[in-house]
Structure 1
Amino acid sequence: MSTDNPPTEINVKGQVLTRHAIYRHGQLVLQYYIKTAQGPVLAELYHSEVICFCRLQDVNQLIQKAGFVLKAESISLLSFAHEPISALYLKSNSQLKLLSRIANDIGISLFEADIRPEQRFLIERFIALDIECTGYYQASKSVLPMPLLSINRARKVPHNQLTTIPLKMISLDFECSFAGELYSVGLYGANYQCVFMVGEPQANCHQFITWVKDEVTLIQRLIAWFREYDPDIIIGWAVVTFDLALLYKRCLLHNIPLVIGRGNTELNWKVADKYRPETLSLPGRVVLDGIDWLKAAFYQFDSFSLESVSRQLLAEGKAIDHVENRGQEITHLFEQDKNALAFYNITDCRLVWDIFEKTQLLDFALERAKLTGLEFGRVGASIAAFYHLYLPHLHRGGFVAPAYPASNGLESPGGYVMPSIPGYYKDVLVLDFKSLYPSIIRTFLIDPKGLVEGMHANNINRDSDTVAGYLGAQFSRQSPILPALVASLAEQRELAKSDKNAPLSQAIKIIMNSLYGVLGSRGCVFHDAKLASSITMRGHQIMKLTKKWIEECGYQVIYGDTDSTFVWLGDNHGIKDIQAVGKHLSVSITERWLKWCAQEYQLDSYLELEFETHFEQFIMPTLRGSDEGSKKRYVGAVSNDQQQLTLTFKGMEQVRSDWSPIARRIQYHLYELFFKGEDVIDYLSNELAAIKDGARDNELIFKKRLRRNVEDYTAKSSPHVKAAKQLAKILGDVNVTRKGQQIRYVMTLTGAQAIEAKPQNIDYEYYISKQIKPIAEPILQLCGHSFDALVNNQLLLL
């Protein structure tokens, strides 16, 4: 009889860093690298299966055609057509791909076949980022630099029951030659900085430099560093598409296994030659790219270069003199001053670190992962986030997701944009509906499952208790999923605001606002025009009725856009407390919606109108060459506490990066002068004269990024494309014609020319007629003048 004690079950709580499905001895194993308060743990689930679904009536035909043992089980779920469903269990993704081809060939639909097994395990248990695993430590743990846990059970960690997990983050940046040969790598973290530099040790060099003899040694030393420092998170600027992709290519060149993942695993790519964040595989480590995450958090910059963003956010730039020619300067520093190159390298790392700190990007990424269940570090993927949130509730509600969208070509209209009344106004109030589309979903019970149940009930009994939507939609009142999810998110956002948790509040806002976009996307299997239209067309009704009710109060609505209503109080209104009027209007209209929803639909209204802004002065321009009011374009002015004028531009050239700096500056000052009652004619005349005299040449430079490779442009005459071709010839570098490159150029008498060509024949008349005239005319019209008359008067004075 054995005297060994049975193994003790272990509970492990932590955060899922990365998730994987691997095959070991012919068995599917799900892997979760978890960071706990005590350190990293690799948790594995053995004897896993790939799961999808089909109609019960299709099972026998699939089994006959499969060519391999296909395990099927009848379950208590229905399709959206109310047909019985069977679950299919497969041994591998390759079997799933084969079965999908067979099913497609014989016209059988598979449901939820695109949900990866490592995702499904978490989805079905409502697990997002925080996890508690119960299981046993494996004897083979001594082989790994971390414990190995065999999972028996897993569950979501209840809110606030997980202690703060310390995550070790590092900022990484490579410097290299034009050909991609590595010069150095910078590593910057909390109380840590290091640069591995190729070269011989130099006197009086920075203490953070570690010298290596060549590129191969640099790579080997970096691999060893990953093992020793063991970061959880890697951050950088284009860190995936440039730095890690470059490192991977150099390792291929030198035949070095790039073992920088946890558990002695290699960095790899899920799709060959596609070096994107979504294709990166780096077990146990999360990679966050600063550019992608700033965009995900809805930060906006004219340029997302590190130099530009750091200047705006940190008031500090790169440690190099000629940023625009940094490739040449980096090579020069490597050859002449490696100490300065190391300082430049580590400064780039620190700038990225400081940007993440300033914008709380790590906190935002964490909160987003907790809310959506997406892999920590994955940007975008709104549809995948929707599936993670929705599917476990859908299954418990008795349904599987549909195989295909159901709209059959019927599409929904966009947000309501009210015709504007152009002109110059004083005292305009802006009233916004708080999270309008999520509020519509919550109020009118808009839900994919609710639509299926409501339409089914209505087909059986015309007097069924449903809520009417648009395009014939009927929504069940019984346990809708999406309204409950919106309610939960709204409650969490209010708590985040009260706790002053800005990253969480922003993450929730973005997720809530993405719900309509997901339902309106043909890439989502839940897409149905009845769903999307019941949101947008309800929005149209809400905006129109709101306008009617406000005008019944004696005010004029001059414009409306999606969820915003612009209210003019009128000339000589005599109102002393305008703020009070705005608050009263928002409260009274909100209360009216409460009564309307109760009377018309017997529903609780979650529509809330908020008083957003009081513009003391406001201009709604006309369309160019027309008396008709423009849409999505206006300028408003308010005075701050110091009685200084603050201008808000919407849709104007001032906020568009594809206009020249001089056009944006002149436009801002024209409106500022107009609102202050000062002379715009004299200012504009002086600026036009300065342009013609060549005194404003540094403000005439256009900056435009290539959205595709130059050879892929169909309109070869696009100015920035022409300038990119010219630049490639000047530099002898075809890389400047690649997608993503920013091209700087001016318009000359011979067309667009790159700045690097040092053009002399600038076409000043182009800038005056194409850049200044369009932005000046709206103001001049309000002043009773015309741009052409102003230019002609100037000519007479010459």
Structure 2
Amino acid sequence: MTRHHVGNALHYYLKTLDGPVRVVINDSERVCFCRTQDVAQLLSPLAHQSVRTEALTLKTFDHQAVTALYCGNSQSFRQLVREATDLGIALHEADIRPEQRYLIERFIALDVEFVGEWVPNESIKTLIGHRARRTDIDVTLSIVSLDFECSMSGELYSVGLYGKDNEGKAIELVIMVGNGEGVNPPLVASSVTYIEWVDNEAALIIALINWFARFDPDIIIGWAVVTFDLALLYRRAALHQIPLKLGRHHQLLTWKVEGKFRPETLVLPGRVVLDGIDWLKAAFYQFDSYALDNVSRQLLDEGKAIDNVDNRGEEITTLFNEDKLALAHYNITDSRLVWDIFQKTSLTEFALERSRLTGLEFGRVGASVAAFNNLYLPHLHRAGYVAPSEPASDGIESPGGYVMDSIPGLYQHILVLDFKSLYPSIIRTFLIDPKGLIEGQAMSDTDTVAGFLGARFSRNAPILPDLVAELATKREQAKREANAPLSQAIKIIMNSLYGVLGSRGCVFHDAKLASSITLRGHEIMKQTRRWLEEMGLTVIYGDTDSTFVHLADVSSIDNIDDFARSLVTKINRKWQQRLKRDYNLACYLELEYERHFEQFFMPTLRGSLEGSKKRYVGAYTQKNGELKLVFKGMEQVRSDWSPVARQIQAELYLRLFTKQDVVEYLKSMIVALQRGELDDLLVFSKRLRRNIEDYTAKSAPHVKAATLWCERSGDSRFGKRGCKVEYVMTTNGAEPRQYCHGNIDYQYYLDKQIAPISDPILTILELSFTEVASKQLTLI
């Protein structure tokens, strides 16, 4: 379902078992709220405006009576907001869009049932809706992966379309400028059935519009498909003065803000656009680079159908001029790779489940605050309140998660014990709730649960803990049904609840709420440590929800996994007993056994004997018998370190844990580096976050390299935001790999790259990198 506000009508585009349908809700009013005592002052200058009022039984968080303000059109609503701002009168829930409010007040998310009457003689089935309710329905959605190829200046060469139509049939099409002539042998061009030849760029755009009208896909997927492909198509269609009718009902693709080509500004009625990069990040996939070639190689073990990915712009133009069939193959391969990534990661299913859970518009990425509002507001209204007009806290910050001082060293047998969904469990257990907070302040101690910073939470009908409980139940069911997309969507939503309450961008933000979560987490982690130590165990580190326990003597333990499971059972029982005794609360805290690291290394801070935080490396044996290394916060997992540093670091720890010679390996790598044998591993890679002229400090190596790249190539494109800069450190400083004039500064790599990752290990051996390197360099 997609949704729009058109004039004073709400438009919803639905996919039904009988095809696409448009539902129109006429005479929609936009509503917000203000204190009843402010109504007369606010409306007196607006007597000529169409603002309707209605006194309600709702009240503010300050327990003030509330009146609803209904505006018949957007113009009167904007005037109302301006007048309230000028008068300093607070409006409540003025940011909730009418098409969204209509659904969330009815607890409607992705699936909906409308009742109304059909409008005859419309090109798309149209229903005038009178009533709506939530339902469950399973319909098949048609999806197409779209990808453009173009010249360096943006002129369109071809568009690839790959996916499945409304009947489930395969789509494989490249619309290409040209006629197939010049292909050798000529018969080959006509035998490639997935190419549709067109005369020029304008004909390509028209052919694509016609294809959309015929195949009518529900979902468009791609890679940077909004910011690049659709933005480029929009600009090229405007150049040719072609109305870009890609929406349903032949409606135009437009942008809410001209020149701002972002997913949140795209308007494409009746269709949903999902960008692979955005949705991988939303589902918490992490890659050093989100370039399609890199992601597809990691997920699919297959890359782009082109030899030189870094200079693909020039190669694409060469293929267009000399080998259009190869370009068509490259184009359709890119489209297919995106399709296969979505299939492999279940991104479409994840996006659907997220929308179904939160009521967010299908395809809207991010928007944690909006998701919270959708879940919370209808319950809040039924409890008799409207949302606050602004956050309660101004400049009062809640502390972050608990991080314990570590005990550095090399260990054997470390158990990692994690609290399952700690912050959501704290919310559920200790009844942390915005409504409960404002009600609890006036209640007796026996009727409330103490929080932090003076907070007290009512035990009477809390909203947020019940929502967490509902989500937790759904997640357990999703796990039982092996519904990974739903389980992941619920996990992310549950974990975002604390972040929303801790954000000043949320009107429910109150330091008492956020602190009652994080400081309770501190208390839980500290008490758990004390109980473990009372059992004779050593806790070497703790971080947010994880506790690292050292088993100093395993000779009396028959099975370490069984021992760990019995350990968490004891701790969980202690928490249940303590919360019942001290707070009269049911306990939803659950400690789990996460991992047994057979080998573990906790480094010190550089230049200090103090243990580091959020940095360690551990190793465990996989089912296939191979040793698996896990790096946390180390250079190995940071993209701003060179490949040579990451490769050497991984090998050093593998050798350390498997009792192989570390020093001899390091010596051999120093020699190889000095001989130039590792030059391919010395290339740094980093994208520009803005255009180079917009950097105030230009000392960053990748900015310097990008500047030289533009100067030496004569091409300013290499200094634009998003450009991937590959550079090496030379005796002249950072230089672009493609135009490197200086000699590689091997000493830089020894001092700044290899030494920092080697010293923590060498310290254990009572050596230093300087010692090892100096002895080795005298032999070169």
Matched pairs, number: 767
Asked whether 1:63 is paired with 2:43, we answer: yes
Encode CA deviations 1:649-705: one digit per residue, 9 max, x unaligned: 100001111100010010000000010001000000000110011000000000011
Q: Which amino acid in 2 is paired with 1:766? A: Y
Q: Does 1:138 align with 2:138?
A: no
Counting only pairs closer than 5 Å after superposition, residues 741-756 of structure 1 correspond to structure 2 as 741-756=723-738
The structure-2 alpha-carbon separation of the partners of 1:454 and 1:749, relative to structure 1 and needing over 3 Å to count, comes to same
Give the secondary structure class of the aligned counterpart of 1:184. strand
Indicate the residue corresponding to 2:599 in structure 1. Answer: 617
Residue 526 of structure 1: how far off its partner (Å): 0.3
CA contact under 8 A between 2:11 and 2:25: conserved in structure 1?
Answer: yes
Cα-to-partner distance string for 1:632-659 (whole Å, 9 max, x where unaligned): 0001111123332111110000111110
Tell me if 1:199 matches 2:199: no
Aligned residue for 1:441, secondary structure, equals helix
> Aligned letter for 1:185?
V
CA distance in 1, matches of 2:723, 2:327: 23
Alpha-carbon distance in structure 2 between the residues aligned to 1:183 and 1:781:
58
* 1:302-701 equivalence runs, <5 A: 302-455=288-441, 457-458=442-443, 462-463=444-445, 465-571=447-553, 573-701=555-683
Quick one: distance in 2 between partners of 1:194 and 1:173?
A: 11
Q: Is the 8 A contact 1:727 1:736 kept in 2?
A: yes
Which amino acid in 2 is paired with 1:401? A
More moved, 189-198 vs 284-293 = 189-198
- Post-superposition CA distance 1:741-773 (Å, at most 9, x none): 111000000000001104450000000100000
* Corresponding residue of 1:9: none
- Alpha-carbon distance, 1:292 to partner: 0.5
The equivalent of 1:44 in structure 2 is 24
Q: Secondary structure at the match of 2:175?
A: strand
Q: Give the counterpart letter for 1:333 in structure 2.
A: L
Could you tell me how far apart the structure 2 residues matched to 1:453 and 1:357 are? Answer: 47
Give the residue type in structure 2 aligned to 1:218: L
Q: How far apart, in 2, do the equivalents of 1:421 and 1:325 lie?
A: 48
* Counterpart position of 2:125: 147
Find the residue that maps to 1:143 and give its secondary structure: coil
Structure 2 match to 1:13: none
Quote how far apart the aligned CAs of 1:572 are.
Answer: 5.8
Give the distance between the partners of 1:135 and 1:768, measured in 2 at CA.
74
Instruction: Please give the residue correspondences for 1:211-290 in structure 2 after superposition, counting only pairs within 5 Å.
Output: 211-290=197-276
| Aligned-partner SS, 2:26 | strand
**Which residue of structure 1 lines up, in the alignment, with residue 167 of structure 2?**
none
SS at match of 2:778: helix
Whether contact under 8 Å (2:641, 2:684) holds in the other structure is: yes
Rounded Cα–Cα distance in structure 2 between residues aligned with 1:549 and 1:240: 53
CA distance in 2, matches of 1:751, 1:414: 39
Q: What letter matches 2:99 in structure 1?
A: E
Q: Helix, strand or coil for the counterpart of 1:224?
A: helix
- Over 3 Å counting, the alpha-carbon distance change for 1:395 and 1:120 in structure 2 is same
Name which of structure 1's ranges 787-796 and 603-612 shifts more when overlaid on structure 2: 787-796
Structure 2 counterpart of 1:4: none
| Greater shift in the superposed pair: 94-103 or 662-671 | 94-103
Task: State the Cα distance separating 1:797 from its structure 2 match.
Answer: 2.7
The answer on whether the counterparts of 1:746 and 1:755 sit within 8 Å (CA) in structure 2 is yes
**Which has the larger displacement, 711-720 or 125-134?**
711-720
1:367-395 per-position Cα deviation (integer Å, ceiling 9, x unaligned): 01101111101110100100011110010
Match of 1:22 in 2: 6
Q: CA deviation at 1:733?
A: 2.5
SS of match in other structure, 1:323: coil
Structure 2 residue 90 is the aligned partner of structure 1 residue 109: yes
| Partners of 1:730 and 1:756 within 8 A in 2 | no
Between the aligned partners of 1:463 and 1:758, the Cα distance in structure 2 is 71
SS of the residue aligned with 1:744?
strand
Q: Please name the residue that 1:175 is paired with.
A: 149
Summarize the alignment of residues 752-767 of structure 1 with structure 2, pairs less than 5 Å apart: 752-767=734-749
Quote the Cα distance in structure 2 between the aligned partners of 1:58 and 1:467: 35
Amino acid at match of 2:176: M
User: Could you tell me which of 93, 96, 115 is aligned with 2:77?
Assistant: 96
CA deviation string 1:103-158 (max 9, x = no partner): 1111110000000000000010011100000110012xx232x210000100011x
The CA distance in 2 between the partners of 1:408 and 1:793, in whole Å, is 59
Identity %: 61
Partner SS for 2:242? coil
Aligned partners of 1:761 and 1:93: how far apart in 2?
64
TM-score calculated relative to the size of structure 2? 0.97
Q: Deviations over 1:54-111 (max 9, x none)?
A: 0011111111022413211001101000001000000222222221111111111000
Instruction: Name the counterpart of 1:118.
Output: 99
Contact 1:430 1:613 survives alignment (8 Å): yes
Structure 2: where are the runs of 5+ without partners? 165-169
CA contact (8 A) 1:433 1:608 kept: yes
Counterpart Cα distance in 2 of 1:708 and 1:563: 36
Whole-Å Cα distance in 2 between the matches of residues 361 and 347 of structure 1?
A: 19
Deviations 1:446-496 (A, max 9, x none): 0001111111x23xxx45611110000010101100000000000000000
1:250 aligned counterpart, secondary structure: helix
Give the aligned residue type for 2:279.
W
Does the 8 Å contact 1:426/1:571 carry over to 2? no
Q: Is contact 2:253–2:266 with CA below 8 Å preserved after alignment?
A: yes
Amino acid paired to 1:179: S
Task: Report the Cα distance in structure 2 between the residues aligned to 1:400 and 1:759, rounded to whole angstroms.
Answer: 65
Give the Cα–Cα distance (whole angstroms) in 2 for the partners of residues 93 and 510 of structure 1.
34
Instruction: Note the aligned Cα RMSD (angstroms).
Output: 1.0
Whole-Å separation in 2 of the counterparts to 1:553 and 1:728: 64
Amino acid at match of 1:442: R
Contact 2:479 2:487 in 1 (8 A): yes
1:185 aligns to 2:171 (yes or no): no
Match for residue 767 of structure 2?
A: 785
When structure 1 is superposed on structure 2, of 201-210 and 615-624 the one drifting more is 201-210
Task: Tell whether the 8 Å contact from 2:226 to 2:262 is kept in structure 1 after alignment.
Answer: yes
**Aligned partners of 1:756 and 1:219: how far apart in 2?**
35
CA contact (8 A) 2:50 2:72 kept: no
- Hey, what does 1:7 align to over in structure 2? none
Please give the per-residue CA displacement for 1:542-589, whole angstroms capped at 9, x wherever unaligned.
Answer: 000000001011101000000000001114653221111110111111
**Cα deviation, residue 792, structure 1:** 1.5
Q: Distance in 2 between matches of 1:240 and 1:347?
A: 19
CA contact (8 A) 2:147 2:335 kept: yes
**Take 2:445 and 2:228, find their aligned partners in 1: how far apart are those partners?**
61
